[in-house]
Amino acid sequence: MSELAVGDDVEVDVARVATGGEGVGRAPDGRTLFVAGALPGEQVRARVVEVRKRHARAELTEIVEPAPGRRRPPCPHVAHGCGGCDWQHATEDLQARLRRTIVRDALERIGRIDDPPVEDGIVVGRDALRTTVRALVVGGRAGYRRRHSHDVVVPDTCMVVHPRLEELLVHGRFADGEVLLRVGERTGDEAVVALPVEDDEVGRIHELAGGRRWRISARSFFQPSPQAADALVEEVRAAVGDIHGGRLVDLASGVGLFAGTLGAVFREVVAVESAPTAVDDAEVNLADLPVRIVRSTIERWTPEPADVVVADPPRAGLAAAGVERVVATGAPTVVLVSCDAASLGRDAGLLVAAGYRLERSRVLDLFPQTAHVEVVSRFAR
């Protein structure tokens, strides 16, 4: 059988879903083939766009046999190649099942954890919630990058963003380049910031979530909506359980979301964060609480004894050095917030190898119409 080449048209049976949301099958020459837009259980035709030693990627050209749960994308801009959402062709129920599958597969395959306890987390509203967007600007109009391209799709509507953010996105006029658009749904604040950010004060907003008011500077990370922040706080609080009175360590604490909402029941709270603007925001946001803020990366932080560790690292996860710091605290309970299934699988495997047991992983849908996962996992010694 001839080897696969870019431009080849192939027919594929899609067996499963990859961590990034693509359908996965076998190419005629035996390579693993990733097909964007394909769903598990489908038979599709696709055109090869990339060939590597052990895998290849292809673009969907025809659905021979559709999977249950496939639908016509509700947003018309998907047909124009908009890359803002990658799962609009799947119903919301199917999206939820696929996210659980992705997380379970990562815990089993990467973490080597048998029969991991994966559950659905709190459900937030499906669409029209997102309050932050990074957009490309061409000819003064903001838009999303076209899939597999540097071209821009300029939308005249966007179903996943908050109506006030949609107004900025669709009707705003900006200098060409890249722009950050952000609104405070519950405060009425709005910010338009040219990227890269030159002055954090220019793009600073406030938001209400978890029962507190948050200052959020342009370069500071915050959850995609206040509803998402509420849900994460509730899930993390449930994972911590009835532990109180000791020391809580909040790693990658950002602007202080977990330290600020969970810390009241602990005798001491240590918040560890390396991003300068997030630390500055946290000092304002947590000024009324007995929280000690440490400006440090997780890997360089000197571990302290803890009763509970809450860790919300960026997409790359804790990795070996971060897990080593967590283990060195001796905390009986660790709550890990993960935004990438592969890094969750790796971190979970490292924690289990260090003597922790995975008690549960709850999957939240905070980015509707996309393959993005957010997972709150509880580990106990």
Q: Is it the case that residue 163 has pLDDT exceeding 80?
A: yes
Every domain of the chain with CATH number 3.40.50.150 lies at 92-126+222-380
The reported pLDDT for the residue numbered 253 is 98
The reported pLDDT for the residue numbered 252 is 98
Burial class (CB in 10 A: 0-12, 13-18, 19+), 189: middle
Q: pLDDT tens digit string along 257-297?
A: 999 999 999 999 999 999 999 999 999 999 999 999 999 99
Q: pLDDT tens digit string along 192-205?
A: 999 998 887 789 99
Q: Is it the case that residue 126 has pLDDT exceeding 90?
A: no
Burial class (CB in 10 A: 0-12, 13-18, 19+), 82: buried
Q: pLDDT tens digit string along 298-346?
A: 999 999 999 999 999 999 999 999 999 999 999 999 999 999 999 999 9
More confident call, 199 vs 1 = 199
Q: pLDDT tens digit string along 19-58?
A: 999 999 999 999 999 999 999 999 999 999 999 999 999 9
Q: What is the DSSP code (8-state) at residue 355?
A: T
Say what percent of the chain tops pLDDT 70.
99
Every domain of the chain with CATH number 2.40.50.140 lies at 9-67
pLDDT band at 1 (very low <50, low <70, confident <90, very high): low
Q: Is it the case that residue 378 has pLDDT exceeding 90?
A: yes
pLDDT band at 165 (very low <50, low <70, confident <90, very high): very high
d(CA 137, CA 146): 13
Superfamily of domain 92-126+222-380: Vaccinia Virus protein VP39 (3.40.50.150)
Q: pLDDT tens digit string along 345-374?
A: 999 999 999 999 999 999 999 998 999 999
pTM over 0.85: yes
Please, where are the H alpha helices in 62-218? 92-109, 163-171
d(CA 295, CA 59): 44
The mean pLDDT value of the chain amounts to 95
Best-predicted range by mean pLDDT among 82-86, 142-146, 347-351?
Answer: 347-351
Helix H or strand E segment including 44:
strand 43-51
- What CATH number labels 9-67? 2.40.50.140
Do 249 and 308 meet the contact criterion of CB atoms below 8 Å apart?
yes
The reported pLDDT for the residue numbered 201 is 78
The reported pLDDT for the residue numbered 85 is 92
- Averaged pLDDT, 228-236: 97
Annotated catalytic residue, options 75, 82, 158, 339: 339
Say what percent of the chain tops pLDDT 90.
92
Known catalytic membership, residue 85: no
The CB-side HSE value for 275 (13 A sphere, CA atoms) comes to: 20
